[in-house]
Every structure is written in C-alpha cells, then in structure tokens.
Amino acid sequence: MAADGMDGLRRWRDQAEEVGEELVDDRSSGEGDGDAGTPEPESRLPSGCPVVPLGVHGDMIFYLDELRQLRDLKAEKHSRLNVQMLFGRQSDLLYAFWPRKAQNKTTGEWETTGWRPELAAETLMAAAADKGVWSPQDRVRGAGAWIGQDGELVWHCGTAVLIMPTDRKVSMRIEEPGVVGELVYPAGPAIPRPHPEAQPAAERGPAQKLLDHLETWSWRRGDVDAHLMLGWIGAGMLGGALKWRPVAWITGGRGTGKSSLQDVIRWLMGSAGLLQSADPTPAGIRQTLRYDSLPVAIDEAEPGDDSNATMAGLVKLARIAASGGNAHRGGADHQANTFTLRSCLLFSSILIPPLLPQDRSRMAILELDELPKGATPPPMTEREIGELGRKLRRRLVDQWPRFAATLDAYRQAMREGGHSARGQDVFGTLLAVSDLLLYDVVPDEGGLKAWAAKLSAATLAELEGDVTDEAACLNHLLSTVWEAPHDRRRMTLGRWVGVAVGRITGDANEDTARKLLMEAGIKIHEQGGEAWLAVANMHRGLSRIYDSTQWAGRPGAQGGWVQALRRLPHKVYDKTMWFGVAARATLIPIYLCLPDGGSRPPNGPTSAGEAGDPLDHAVPSAPASPAGGASASSDRLL
C-alpha cells in the first residue's frame, strides 16, 4: 500500500476517534498485536460505496461510477468535482463517508460542515491500486451483441445486460451494467431490447413482413438483394457476436429510395442503437463507438477530390471492423488510444468511389434501380418498424444456438458457387443471419444449391476485377503507356513487349522496341529455349511506373514490385543484367505478358527453388486479338 494512502487513512481514523465516531471502514493499521498485514481489498472503501474501482494502468485510474459508466481519471484529476461526479446521484454519501467536522461554539457538538475531497481521493486511489494493473483493452464491452466467455449470446442494451445461454432449457438472465464475470459492461444510453415474446417464422413472422417491405424497392438482383439487405440488418444487430461482420454498399441514382431505406434501418435499430451520419470521419466513428459494437450507416458516401482520402479511411475502417480488429492511435497527450472495432458498416451513395479489389470483395454491393411510377411501400410508421426491430432481435436470440451450423452450411454452398474464403465470409454470413430471421431449422440441400446458383461468384458485380495482387502488379506494368522518343509513338508496354518478341508487326521493329523497354527497366531475355520478361529489381523507370501504388519503390532500395511479381512463376536471375544500368532482375515467363499466351511450355516454366505453376486458375487465357494491342495484353490478367 502506498505510504500517502496509509497516512491518509490514519488521519481519517484519528479524526474519527477525536470526534467520538466509529469508522465505517474499521481495520487494523498493521501495528500492535492485532491482525497485522495488508488489509483485504474489499474493506478499503466504506460499505455501500456506489463507485467500483477497476484498477490502475500507468498514471490512469479506472472506475465504474454510480451510474455504472466507465470513467478514467489521472491521479491529479481527482478533484472535488470529479470525485463528486463519480458518486453522481448519491453524492450525499460523501458527507457520511468522509465528513468535515467543526465544533459548534455554542453547544459544543461536532457538526458536519462538508466533506474531505483529499481523503476521498486517497481512499479511492488506494482501492483501485488494490485491484492491480488493469486495462480496458479486451476487457470492456459496450452496447451491442457479444459472445460470452462460455459461448453464450450477450446483449448489452445500455441499461441492462441480457445473457442467453446456448442451452435453450436454461432461461435468460438479466444483469445490471457493471462487472459481469471477468468483463466490464459499462452503462450507456438504452437501446431496444428483444421482444419479450417468442416470434414465429416464415409467413407469419416479423422477418417476412420486413422482407416484403424491402422488396418494394427496385433491387437490381430482385429478391437476392432484398435477402442480403435483411441479412445485413440482422448482422448489424448481432455485431460483436459475429466472427465476420459483412459490409454492404447500397448504390443507385437519384429517386431510387436510398435515403428512405436509411430511415427504415434507423427505425429498426433505434436512435441509440445505430451510428448514422452523412459526413463522418474515421476518427469520429472510432471515438463515438469506443467500446460499442453497434452498426454504422454512412449516407451520401460520394466520391470526390475533396472526399476520396476520407472515404478511403472509412473503407479501411470497415475492413478492420469486418474481421474484428483494434485500432491504435496516438493522442495529443502522447498517450496511445486503443479502439475495439466490432461493428457492421453500411454505405449508400449514387456512385461507389474507386475501391481496391480486396476491399470490393469484402462487401455486398446492393444496386437499386429507379422506382416504378406511382410505386409506394406499404404504409408503416416509425413506431411499427421500431417494434418490428425488437421482434427481429427476439428471433436472433431464439435461433442463435443453430447459427454455427447454419453458417457452415451456407459457407459450403458459397464454396460450391466458386467463392473464395472471403466471399464465403461475406455472403455466407449474410445468408445465415437472414436464415435465422426467417426459419427455424438449418436449410436443406436443395435450398443451399439454389443460393449457390443465385450468388455464383462468376456473375457477381462484387468480384469484377478481383485479381490477385501479383496479377494486378504485372497488369499495371503492361498497361502503362510509354512513348518512343524518336517518333513520339505512344503504346502500352504490353504492346511494346509484343513487338519486341515479333508477335506484333507493323508498329515498329524489334530492335527499337527492345531498346525502348530497357528505358522502362524491362527487357526480353532468352534462356534455356524459353523467352522471359526480365524486370529490374531497382530502376528509376520502374519507380516512376509504380509511383503512388502499393508496389512503389524508393531511391536506393529494391522496388515493392519485386515481391509482388515473384508470386508469379518466375526465376531469380543471379547475375546483373544491363538495363542502361546494371541491375539484378526477376524473370517472368513471356506467356503471361502476351494476349494469346505465346509459346507456352506444357508444364509451365520452372522457377528457382519452386515448382512451375501455369496459373490456369488465376490468369485464364484470353482469345488472341488481331491487333494484339494493349487492351488484350491488359485483359490477359483479368
């Protein structure tokens, strides 16, 4: 125990003995022949103290205040007003616990004239120190749904914590916000609770009623998009309970009903159950959510010169939240802040800003067409939709025990539909949550095959342009326009490669093309009866080509393109090669750079230390183009 804390307690005891009052917190000081030693932590604070110390981390001390909100105070911030704030509605207890006494000169009685903030602060800090080192990281769970330590579904409704065991025979229990087991569920604004009565499935259920309402919008993929939208609404409610939180993007022209749909989502979630904004920043979302797992809806997420950087940050935030990550940011006081991101994000806009393939493949893109003239959704008030939201929550609570099996079934269906693991996460989760809302049993084989066909990976707009990083890197190189200095002729490097190997004639001669390629840091290399595209590991021309991309280089260092290209079948050339300057190079088989694949070895080229891989699965052959031009060379990798 800290010396100043013990001194404060001794002064407190001495004062109480002087005025003839008993200490509420009576214990041995460690002196004499009593029970010497450190006192028990639970006896540090007076009985009935509403403030709960959680522990200490560095110079920060953590409490649950009288309202069970999470508070953090530095030692020097334990002022009179801050301590009074901790006691909230029960601040009158401060006068009983740490009274300031004065003797009435007339009667001789000792009377309470106030309370002693310095003594209250000493006791609170000492009680927090008793709890040891504690950090809110992964220990605090705000409003929203979570998975408990025993696999149960936990729904933190702000003013109550509902715990639903996985065993349906065990009834739900309700806890007050605060410490529950080893975790802290701080109090917050009330969000809608699940409906008290069990809800039916199928046609008589609340999910079918909502689905019918959603189908009044003109979805590009009809009932498929309506089901995915229903799945996102349920996933947004479940938030932190999901292993993967799918991202959705609603897009459509003016008058397609995007804003009306955002209104419906807000009413379903409740005003305190959704973070909705038309002009957010990543920092604003992080700081508002803090420890919550509530869904986030971003309207009017339009691309533009002044907004692309912000939108890129929001998309990155959605990517982190989808897999469930922690964002770490430095503060103005040189203290790091950690944000736990466990929310489903929804965007809506007329146009979708430029997205990297890895971001586009992590979301469901739901396109809206113009509403038919005179079309109006069934009349539903905000109150009715809000009540529907509570009923949907009850469906999720009751059907949660079968979620794992349902998700596995839909993931397998998406796998059979050609989806990668990421596509299985996104569409499998959306369909599984939609299934919980609509039905009572795991789907049968026929229903799963139908969904695999409807969401076949080969037909989805979400996966257009979804190529591997290495293929995108080579495609960027070959589609770069390069000008011949002698006649100002401009062609893509892919076309210049075709000229250099004699596959494209009439544009220039082979020698001219080969000299031009060297200026860009690439050249044609024959070895072992095979042709290769040699790409320099360090070259100013390539640095210029890859500038402002994820494959960029820096002066005096190996370019970032090297690592990406070496994921293709390749050879590492162990000698220096001449590119106008001497440089080591990576050799890429020429068939990957030509529109019809060129003269391709039957088993693919061998690479140093690696088995050959013709990349049939990742880089399908494109039909030969009569002109053999740049677009064909570029399409070769798409």
8 A C-beta contact, residue 413 and residue 391: no
Residue 180 has what DSSP assignment? E
CA distance 361 to 445: 26
Of 501, 523, 512, 510, the closest CA to residue 580 belongs to 523
HSE (side-chain half, CA atoms, 13 Å) at 395: 32
Of 344, 339, 289, 341, the closest CA to residue 136 belongs to 339
CA torsion 137→141→142→143, rounded to 10°? Answer: 150
8 A C-beta contact, residue 118 and residue 107: no
Six-digit token pair at 72? 């953090």
Burial of 588 (0-12, 13-18, 19+ CB in 10 A): buried
**DSSP alpha helices (H): ranges in 324-416?**
357-360, 382-399, 403-416
Six-digit token pair at 320? 């982190």
Six-digit token pair at 250? 């609603």
Alpha carbon 584 to its chain's center: 40
Alpha carbon 166 to its chain's center: 26
Residues lower than pLDDT 50 in the chain:
1-6, 8-41, 599-638
CA distance 500 to 85: 77
Of 308, 344, 627, 301, the closest CA to residue 491 belongs to 627
Beta strands in 255-384 (DSSP E): 275-277, 296-298, 325-330, 336-341, 345-349, 363-368
CA distance 434 to 558: 48
CA distance 104 to 100: 13
Of 434, 460, 260, 490, the closest CA to residue 365 belongs to 460
**Confidence (pLDDT) at 43:** 60
Residue 140 has what DSSP assignment? B
* Number of residues assigned to the chain: 638
Contact residues for 626 (Cβ-Cβ < 8 A; gap 6+)? none
- R_g of the chain, CA atoms, integer Å: 33
- Collapsing DSSP to helix, strand or coil, 355 comes out as coil
CA distance 166 to 171: 10
Letter for the amino acid at 328?
H
- Collapsing DSSP to helix, strand or coil, 115 comes out as strand
Residue 67 Cα distances to 44, 63, 90, 186, 369, angstroms = 21, 11, 10, 9, 48
Pairing of strands 70-74, 60-64: antiparallel
Burial of 455 (0-12, 13-18, 19+ CB in 10 A): buried
8 A C-beta contact, residue 24 and residue 97: yes
Helix (H) and strand (E) counts in the chain: 20, 24
Alpha carbon 190 to its chain's center: 24
**Confidence (pLDDT) at 362:** 82
